[in-house]
């Protein structure tokens, strides 16, 4: 569709799906439904209705995951905007609108979270088509989901009379159960999906009217930020000073131009393990299992893991297994996983933030064993990629190549290592690891020393802007 620019919001932390989704690797980067990640599926879903490349707004810490996942599906975004901190949806959309208007003053934005599921994509495409004409005439359109049950976990939109798009009478907060039942029976209320369409210029005009301070701060963060071939980095001080606000509170609840499209397309925000169970394919007993699962006399269960999971006589239970954590809970109480994450954070344990396998722009490492003065990692380096030129004050390292070819800088020498060859990096020696080949490099790293934390790295040169020396 002409002038239609997709804006994908990818700044969430997704901790309600812990332990699979964590702050350092949240749910939008995971293949929860199908083979593609949720970010990739979001683009695939909207590609048939837009000729434009997407604008993606993401957390700075996730920048290389966004770039890599778009590269995997052959997409070069029009822009990847990096937020130094999260400030909710109103500022994120404002920056995207500024970028769009600079390229095309008639641009219409289709704003979508990166972590939703829509089963009936044709119905979604039809709704986008219905919204486009209203948006081009100046309406700020939101997509309201036809409710399937009296849900207390969503906000609602009361729609006025008429055909799609209908005027918005009011937005309402998450209701109690009795109120949600009334909303469902009345037929006048829709779930608030967090998806929008409007002219970029119209959104900026409305934000200027209702929250000019946020608009001005976003403009300053964009102007003072930096740009390179891959990312637009918003200025840290200017963006951090913004008062966080959602688009609903900042604009949609205050404008007279709000309209709503009723969408009945098998939508889910996958906001809990229960919601993921509902969105997943289920067998004749209502079980949705992913991985190596054996279940006997189980009904309405969800299981996800890498190792063998054996389940006997369970009903309405969620079992999720990762390399470093196992979650078991009843579906009716699985929302309380947020309390588990809170307790883990309070004790300073790393499982709340990151997986055992940690992704880096050059590849990944997996901490497979550790003790008081040693740690063993499995390291994967992508073809052509390189780690920083670095040294450590407190640890030495042994590297053993498992597959591929390693180019090792060690002090003043540069050596090549092939499969089954190894080298030793003494404490305090400047070193670098690079993969000069066309296949992934895999090696085992054995660290030994008095301190093995990731912050014992002094970088002298780095392709990813992480130099600290």
Structure tokens at 464: 């990813």
| Percent above pLDDT 70 for the chain | 99
CA dist., res. 252 & res. 210, Å (int)? 10
> How many CA atoms are closer than 13 Å to the CA of 426, on its beta-carbon side?
3
Structure tokens at 254: 């205050």
What number is the average pLDDT over the span 181-210?
96
Statement: residue 469 has pLDDT above 80? no
Q: Sheet containing 395-403: which strands, arranged edge to edge?
A: 357-360, 363-370, 374-381, 441-449, 395-403, 422-425
pLDDT value, residue 433: 98
Q: In which band, very low, low, confident or very high, does the pLDDT at 228 lie, cut at 50, 70 and 90?
A: confident
CA dist., res. 220 & res. 215, Å (int)? 9
CA dist., res. 155 & res. 190, Å (int)? 9
Statement: residue 463 has pLDDT above 90? no
pLDDT value, residue 15: 84
CA dist., res. 38 & res. 434, Å (int)? 31
What number is the average pLDDT over the span 183-205?
96
pLDDT per residue over 89-148, tens digit each? 999 999 999 999 999 999 999 999 999 999 999 999 999 999 999 999 999 999 999 999
- Please give the mean pLDDT across all residues of the chain: 94
| Percent above pLDDT 90 for the chain | 91
What number is the average pLDDT over the span 405-414?
97
pLDDT value, residue 74: 95
Q: CA torsion, points 102, 105, 106, 112, in degrees to nearest 10?
A: 30
Cβ contact 142:258 at 8 Å: yes
Question: Beta strand pairing status for 357-360 and 363-370?
Answer: antiparallel
What number is the average pLDDT over the span 310-334?
96
Cβ contact 400:453 at 8 Å: no
Domains of the chain in start order, with CATH, are 4-268 (3.90.550.10), 282-342 (no CATH), 357-461 (2.60.120.10)
What number is the average pLDDT over the span 402-424?
97
Q: In which band, very low, low, confident or very high, does the pLDDT at 406 lie, cut at 50, 70 and 90?
A: very high
pLDDT value, residue 1: 64
Q: In which band, very low, low, confident or very high, does the pLDDT at 230 lie, cut at 50, 70 and 90?
A: confident
pTM of full prediction above 0.85: yes
pLDDT value, residue 465: 76
pLDDT per residue over 261-309, tens digit each? 999 999 999 989 999 999 999 999 999 999 999 999 999 999 999 999 9
Statement: residue 13 has pLDDT above 90? no
Burial of 339 (0-12, 13-18, 19+ CB in 10 A): exposed
Query: End-to-end alpha-carbon separation of the chain, Å?
Result: 49
CA dist., res. 428 & res. 381, Å (int)? 23
pLDDT value, residue 162: 80
Statement: residue 26 has pLDDT above 50? yes
Question: Residues 6 or more apart from 205 whose CB is under 8 A from it?
Answer: none
Statement: residue 18 has pLDDT above 90? yes
Closest CA to 46 of 103, 128, 141: 128
pLDDT value, residue 2: 65
Q: In which band, very low, low, confident or very high, does the pLDDT at 468 lie, cut at 50, 70 and 90?
A: low
């Amino acid at each position: 569709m002409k002038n239609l620019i997709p804006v994908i919001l990818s700044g969430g932390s997704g901790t309600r799906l812990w332990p699979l989704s964590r702050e350092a690797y949240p749910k939008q980067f995971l293949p929860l439904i199908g083979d593609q990640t949720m970010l990739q599926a979001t683009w695939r879903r909207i590609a048939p209705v837009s000729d434009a490349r997407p604008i993606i707004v993401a957390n700075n810490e996730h920048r290389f995951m966004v770039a890599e996942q778009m590269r995997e599906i052959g997409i070069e975004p029009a822009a990847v905007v990096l937020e130094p901190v999260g400030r909710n949806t109103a500022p994120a959309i404002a920056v995207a609108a500024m970028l769009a208007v600079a390229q095309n003053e008639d641009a219409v934005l289709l704003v979508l979270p990166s972590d939703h599921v829509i089963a009936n994509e044709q119905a979604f495409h039809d709704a986008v088509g219905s919204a486009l004409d209203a948006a081009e005439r100046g309406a700020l359109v939101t997509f309201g989901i036809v409710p399937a049950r009296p849900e207390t976990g969503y906000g609602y939109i009361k729609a006025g009379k008429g055909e799609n798009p209908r005027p918005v009478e009011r937005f309402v907060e998450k209701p109690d159960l009795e109120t949600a039942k009334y909303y469902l029976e009345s037929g006048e209320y829709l779930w608030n999906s967090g998806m929008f369409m409007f002219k970029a210029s119209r959104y900026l005009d409305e934000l200027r009217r209702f929250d000019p301070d946020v608009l001005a701060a976003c403009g300053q963060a964009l102007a003072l930020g930096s740009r390179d071939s891959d990312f637009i980095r918003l200025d840290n001080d200017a963006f951090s000073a913004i008062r966080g606000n959602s688009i609903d509170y900042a604009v949609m609840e205050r404008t007279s131009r709000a309209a709503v499209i009723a969408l009945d397309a098998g939508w889910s925000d996958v906001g809990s393990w229960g919601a993921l169970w509902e969105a997943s394919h289920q067998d004749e007993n209502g079980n949705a299992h992913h991985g190596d699962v054996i279940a006997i006399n189980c009904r309405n269960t969800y299981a996800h893991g890498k190792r063998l999971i054996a389940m006997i006589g369970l009903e309405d239970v969620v079992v999720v297994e990762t390399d470093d954590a196992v979650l078991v809970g009843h579906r009716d109480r699985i929302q309380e996983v947020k309390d588990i994450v809170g307790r883990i954070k309070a004790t300073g344990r790393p499982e709340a933030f990151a997986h055992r396998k940690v992704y880096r722009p050059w590849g990944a490492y997996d901490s497979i064993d550790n003790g008081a003065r040693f740690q063993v990692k499995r390291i994967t380096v992508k073809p052509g990629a390189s780690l920083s030129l670095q040294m450590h004050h407190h640890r030495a390292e042994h590297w053993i190549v498992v597959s591929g070819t390693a180019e090792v800088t060690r002090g003043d020498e540069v050596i090549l290592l092939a499969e089954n060859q190894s080298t030793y990096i003494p404490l305090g020696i400047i070193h670098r690891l690079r993969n000069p080949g066309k296949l992934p490099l895999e090696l085992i790293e054995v660290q030994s020393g008095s301190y093995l934390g990731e912050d014992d790295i002094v970088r002298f040169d780095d392709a990813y802007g992480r130099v600290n020396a």
